A and B are shown apart, each in its own frame.
Chain A
Amino acid sequence: MDYFIQQSLNALSFGAEYALIALGLAIVFSIMGLVNFAHGEVIAFGGYSMVIMGTLLTNNPFVLMVGVVAACVFASVALERVAFRTVRGADLTTGLLTAFGVSIILQNLFLLFGSPRPIAATQFIFLDRTIAIGSIRVSSLQIYETVTTLLAILALMFFLRRTTLGMAMRAAALDFEMVRLCGVRANRVIAGAFAISGLLAGLACIFIMARRGSVQPHMGFDPVLVAFVACVIGGFGSLPGAVLGGFLLGITEVAVLILLPQSAGGLAHAVVFALVALVLIWRPDGILSPAREKGDKI
C-alpha cells in the first residue's frame, strides 16, 4: 500500500511537471499555431539567469525564485518579438522550423557564454526533503510540484474566463481575425500568451533546478520533448488536453518504470514514445480534440 501511494505520488509529480511545460506549449499553439520548440531553452535561460543572479546579487532562494520566473517571462516575450513575429501567420512547418532554429541558437549561445559542462546552482535544493507522513516517506518537492501545478491551472482558468485579455485569448484560439476586428490588439494577445507561457516555464524551471541543482545548455530539451508529446496526446492546442496529456505521460512513465524489469530501464523512453505513436494513430488529432472535417479552417 505504501509502495502504491509512493509511486502514485511519483506519477503525479512527473505528470505535474510535464503538464506545466505542456500548458506553456499549448497556450502559444492555440493562439498562433506555433509549435514552440524553443520553450525548453526558455527554461534553460531561467536556469542560467539564476546562476548569474545567485553569484552577483543574492542567495536568498525566494528572491531567486521571483527572479527566475521574471527571467523566463522576459525571455519568452523577447523571443516572440525578435523571432516569432516574422513568421506569424505562416504555415505550421515554417513556424516549427523557426522554433527549432531559435532553440539551436539559444543552446549554442549557452554553450558559448556558459560552459558545455554543468554549472552548479544549488539554492533550490532545500525544497527537496524527505518527509514522513505516517508510515510513508515522500519527497516534499513532489508535493510542492503537484500543488503548484494545480494552483497554476486554477489561476490560468480564472484568468482565461474572467479577465478581458483572457477572454480575448480564448476567442483568438477560435478565430483570431474576428478578435482583431473587435478592436483587440493582436500584438497584445500574442505577447500575453507568450508571457503566460514564460511564467509556466519559470515555475517548471524552479522545480527542475531543485531536482538537478545544476544548469547545462541542453537541460530544457528533453523535458520539452516529452511535454510536446503530452500536448499531442491531449490534442494540440487544447489546454485541458495538455494537462491531461501531461498527467497521462507521468503515469505511463512511472508505470513503465515499475512494470519493466530493472535491466530494461533504458527502454522506458522508447516504450513511452511507442505508446504515443499508437495513440496518434488511433486518434490523429489527439484525445481531447473534436473530430474536425478537413478544410474547416481553410
Chain B
Amino acid sequence: MRFLPLNSAQRQGLLGSAMLSLLILAIVGAYYLWGESYQARMLYAVFVNLLVVVGLQVFTGNANITSFSHAAFMGIAAYVAAICVTPIAMKAISLPDAPWGLNAFELSALSAALLALLITGLLGLATGLFMARLTGVGVTIVSIAILVIVHSIFLYRTDIFKGNQALFGIPKIFDLPQITALVIVAIFIARAFRESAVGLKLRASADDEVGARAMGVDVFKVRLIAWVVGTLFFATAGIAYAFYLGTISARPFYFNFVFLTVSMLILGGLRSVTGAVFGTLMISMGLELVRWLETGPVISGIKFPEVLGLSGLLLGVVIVAVMAFLPRGIMGNREIEDFVKRKR
C-alpha cells in the first residue's frame, strides 16, 4: 500500500520533518498560552534565523563548503520586497529621490514577494554558475566578496537603499502564524532536498569528491542546484524580515549576522536539518539569557555589572568549543527520527 514512490530514507524524512514541525508548533503554542506580547518579536526573529539556517544547511551543510554570502541574498530580497510593497504615498517620504521611478509604483504583497524571490533566485543562479566551479577556500572567498560587494552597494546607493539609515514605512504583512507556516514548509523542503537524489549526490561529493565523480555524479550540477535552492531560502527569510519589522537598514545584513547563523548551524551539526533547527533554538535561547546578563541584572539583591560583548564572546566560544570537541555538531549525521527509531 504505497501511494508515494518514496524510498525508506525519504519516508523517514517525512516523519522527521513532521516531528520538527510539532516542536515548532509546540513552541508557538507555548507562546500563545503563556507568552508576553514582547516575546512575539523575539520568536519572530528566531524563526527568521531558522529559515536562514535551514537554508544554509542546504548548501553549506550538504556540500560541506562554508559560504558567508547568505546575509547578502537576504538583504537583496528584503530590499526588493520592501521597495515594491511600500505604498507610493509613503515612498514619497522615505525614498524621495529614488531613480528609475522606483517610488512611483507599488505591488501587492504577493507579487512583491514573488518578484523578490525571482530576482534573488536569478542572482543566485548567476553567482552559482561561478560558485559551483570553485572548490574549498575559493567558495568561501568569493562568498565573502559577494557579501562585501552587496554591502558596499547598499551603503553607496543611499537614494535607493538608504544605507545605514532605515528604510521605513513598509506595511506589516506577516505575523507569527505566517512565519510559523513558512518555517514548517522550509523544514519539509530542506529535509526533502537532503533525502532527494540531488541531496544524496551532494553529500557523497562532500565526503569524497573524486569518488563521487567516479560514480558519475555531476558535482557542478548538484552544487549549482543546492546553491540556488539555498538562495531561495535566504530570500524567503529576507522577505519575512521586511514584511514584519516595517523598517530595514543595511547594517543587519553583514558579518555579525553571518557569524550568528553560521555558529547556529555548526552547533547543531552541518549535516542534518534537525541539527540546524536545534542549533538555532539553542543559540537563540542562550543569547537571550546572555543579553539579560549583559544589561547588568539584579539577582537576589546583588547588582551585576554591565558587560558589553558577552553575547559575542558566547558565540565565539560556542564555535571554537564545537569545532574542538564536537566537530560534527550535536546531531552529527543523525536526524530527529533516529532517536525514536527501533534499534536494529
Contacts from A to B (Cβ < 8 Å): 35, 83, 86-87, 90-94, 96-98, 100-109, 111-112, 116, 217, 221, 225, 228-229, 232, 236, 264, 266-267, 269-270, 273-274, 276-277, 280-281, 284-285, 294-295, 298
Contacts and interface: CB of A to CB of B under 8 A. Distances in A.
B259 A100 contact: yes
B154 to A, nearest CB: 10
B289 interface: no
Given A273-B149, A294-B209, A93 B142 contact: no
B152 A270 contact: yes
Interface stretch (B43-51, B106-114, B178-186, B304-312): B304-312
Interface in B278-328: 307-310, 312-313, 315-320, 323-325, 327
A85 to B, nearest CB: 9
8 contacts: A96-B140, A97-B319, A106-B316, A108-B316, A116-B308, A273-B144, A273-B148, A277-B146
B148 A269 contact: yes
A102 B307 CA distance: 19
Nearest to B134: A284
Given A96-B140, A276-B141, A298-B210, A108 B148 contact: no
B156 interface: yes
Contacts, number: 138
Contact of A280 (B64, B142, B312, B320): B142
B145 interface: yes
Interface of B: 64-66, 130, 133-138, 140-142, 144-146, 148-149, 152-153, 155-156, 209-210, 213, 255, 259, 262-263, 266, 307-310, 312-313, 315-320, 323-325, 327
Contacts of A264: 156
Contact of A101 (B144, B309, B317): B317
Contacts of B213: 294
B145 A273 contact: yes
B324 A111 contact: no
Contacts of A104: 259, 312-313, 315-316, 319
A216 to B, nearest CB: 13
A295 B210 contact: yes
Nearest to B66: A93
Contacts of A266: 152, 155-156
B308 A111 contact: yes
A111 to B, nearest CB: 3
Contacts of B312: 104, 107-108, 111
B317 A267 contact: no
A280 B141 contact: yes
A112 B315 CA distance: 14
A74 B153 CA distance: 39
B210 A92 contact: no
B141 A93 contact: no
